[in-house]
Amino acid sequence: MSLAQTQNSIRSHVSLANLTSMRVGGAAEYFTSPRSSLELAEALAWANDLHIPITIIGAGSNLLISDRGIEGLVICTRHLRGIDFDTTSGQVTAAAGEPVARLAIQVANYGWAGFEWAVGIPGTVGGLVVMNAGAQGGCAADCLVSAETLSLIGTTQLIYPQELNFSYRTSALQDAELLVTAATFKFQIGGNPEAIAADTEAKLKARHTTQPYHLPNCGSVFRNPLPQFAARLIQDAGLKGYRIGNAQVSDLHANFIVNLGNAKAKDIFSLIEHIKTTISDRYGVVLETEVKTIGHF
């Protein structure tokens, strides 16, 4: 399939820094942001015909992209939007590019309970499912009914939670060459909209007072090595405020790295490695990253 045969605008050498919450990263060799399932399928076919690698990104909220950029085609799903509420069953189907926080607010406004925890999550629905994202005691696995997926060769499949091997901040989708295009969730209907909306707003304010929303960051950097907490280990090791270049361990929350301005991806990566080494040497704990690195470091 030639580019002229698609409905897509596929551009070359597009900077990715502004498409990540950390505001770092080089350029995509090729880039597109489809607005429909048809455009998405066409982009995949175009890349497959050219035998070039494909990288999928959403809101870029848990990504660290190399300063060298990404080879092949980068597909950004943030424009795949749409939400459908079934008011009789309490089920909601949302497209992969829907912001999780926006969906959480809409669910609360319906008076449906069970998604209040998601209001402060900065990513998209697709990423929520893939990494089993969660906060404040809740996670995607708690409310997922099914996920619509598309393989990199264009095959569609409906997948159910029992097939996803959900565990803490991970799922089988992280290692599968499948793109989540939409997901269906089920919530508890019949609640008091004002009370649930107030609880949702309170949870959002709590996150804003304990996390560095005022500076570019990629969310929690490390998974908690349960029953311990990554932030506590990092803080106890004296690493709060430690910096390499303009990348710094947040003074507000030790499991966040912030971009103080014009930081480089290599500095953030080096800081992550320094934290891992320090915690391993001092406590014998191996920290696993929650943030996903893409490209050559």
For the chain, counts of helices (H) and of strands (E): 6, 16
The Cα-based distances of 179 to 10, 40, 253 in angstroms read 19, 10, 32
23 catalytic per annotation: no
Q: Where are the alpha helices (DSSP H) in the chain?
A: 37-50, 100-109, 125-130, 193-210, 230-236, 265-283
Query: Can you tell me the distance from the alpha carbon of 3 to that of 285, in angstroms, rounded to the nearest whole number?
Result: 49
**Set 39, 116, 148, 290: catalytic member:** 290
Helix (H) or strand (E) holding 244: strand 243-244
Contact 206, 166 (CB under 8 A): no
**Set 169, 177, 201, 243: catalytic member:** 169
End-to-end CA distance of the chain, in Å? 33
**Set 33, 61, 66, 220: catalytic member:** 220
Residue 282 in tokens: 């001092």
Closest CA to 102 of 126, 84, 128, 121: 121
220 catalytic per annotation: yes
Query: Can you tell me the distance from the alpha carbon of 106 to that of 91, in angstroms, rounded to the nearest whole number?
Result: 13
Indicate which residues carry an active-site annotation.
Answer: 169, 220, 290
